[in-house]
Copies of this chain bind each other. A is one copy, B any other.
Amino acid sequence: MAKNAFYAQSGGVTAVINASACGVIETARKHPDGIGKVYAGRNGIIGALTEDLIDTSLESAEDIAALRHTPSGGFGSCRFKLKSLEKNKREYERLIEVFKAHDIGYFFYNGGGDSADTCFKVSQLSEAMGYPIQAIHVPKTVDNDLPITDCCPGFGSVAKYIAVSTLEASFDVRSMAKTSTKIFVVEVMGRHAGWIAAAGGLVADHGIPVVILFPEIEFNQEKFLAEVDAKVKQHGFCTIVVSEGCHYPDGKFLAEQGTRDAFGHAQLGGAAPVVANMIKDALGHKFHWAVADYLQRAARHIASKTDVEQAYALGEAAVNLALAGRNSVMPTVVRLSDTPYKWEIGAAELKDVANVEKFMPRDFITEDGFGITEKCKAYLSGLIQGEDYPPYKNGMPDYVVLKNNPVAKKLPGNFEL
């Protein structure tokens, strides 16, 4: 009889991680000869460790299909990194115990860099611990910082959200600039890599004066204020997109700049209000600021069609790789051309993916450090192509909440995390 599969979502969720889940489950269902049931981990890998598995075979085809247009992690995710086999053999032994008990032969792990590392470790279990398991990593991260793959599912939709929202808010500021707000600051995610911030730079081609603050570029207050001043003098207003990871040469984040609440707690606010007040102090302009936070990574309502298609295709490819007998591998997006954006699915060895972080190349950022180059625009443009609206019911998106019925436990006792 065909082995069952384990699927789990890991780390920060996205607008399209469920589209990958949909790709995995729908494809597995087409191959009952190769894959038995797909069991999802409730709250990610924790579900495997605690034998808290979800039987996805009890979900209707309609509900599984609806995952494609539903943001967030339909089975729950977690922030939990397995230590190395040497440091915590107990966890790996437990995983194998659970896999054995439920006849699991496939491990699909849907996550970012840390998860790729975990998946790589699991892929080594066949040899190290004599249990046959095929571990396939399904890439996902709004940070877009995985190597080898052209991009990471989740990023294209955040990029589209940030580009569209920055354009809209900039139109707003331009309307108000004569007598009121001249500065709009939006803070975006990206603690280490500036990919999301870069997406804000796409508004420059729509007539918007924009200054980007990347984590890859050390913050220089004097140069920054001069740039904003010049743009306001020329255009009457200016938009600033600041990455949460923007920092001073000494590594201190802008968001940490001495902000204290009444109790003396540090880092109450974000980078956006710091930047906005800095401009107000130096140049005197009225400002508004926004912090998009989860709104950006959850914004399925304005997801990129390309992103949704890639997320699904990578889930589908993961299953096909498993059926082809592969282990320790991650399906990737391979770019074939920029304009029009064409791509196909490839595969990378997990040993080449784990623990490698992909930053913005320096030639994607303009020389002055405040904008994106044509090369970067050509890269980003493909990823935001197309809209893929969810269905609506009574004015609200019709997102699915699965039944998430548990698989009956077979092991005695509990596992302490």
Contact = CB atoms under 8 A, between A and B. Distances in A.
Contacts of A304: 395
A84 interface: no
Q: How large is the interface on A (under 10, 10 to 19, 20 to 34, 35 or more residues)?
A: 35 or more
Interface in A287-324: 288-295, 297-302, 304
Q: How many copies does the complex hold?
A: 2
A267 to B, nearest CB: 9
Given A259-B268, A269-B268, A394-B381, A77 B167 contact: no
B173 A294 contact: yes
A387 B389 contact: yes
B202 A396 contact: yes
Given A300-B168, A396-B206, A295 B186 contact: yes
A201 interface: no
Interface string A244-265: 0000000000000111111101
A22 to B, nearest CB: 15
Nearest to A380: B395
Contact of A262 (B70, B202, B257): B257
A232 to B, nearest CB: 16
B258 A261 contact: yes
Interface centre among A269, A289, A302 (most CB of B within 10 A): A269
Nearest to A79: B180
A115 interface: no
Nearest to A382: B395
Contacts of A396: 163-164, 167, 202, 206, 384
B288 A294 contact: yes
A13 interface: yes
5 contacts: A70-B171, A73-B176, A186-B295, A259-B261, A261-B277
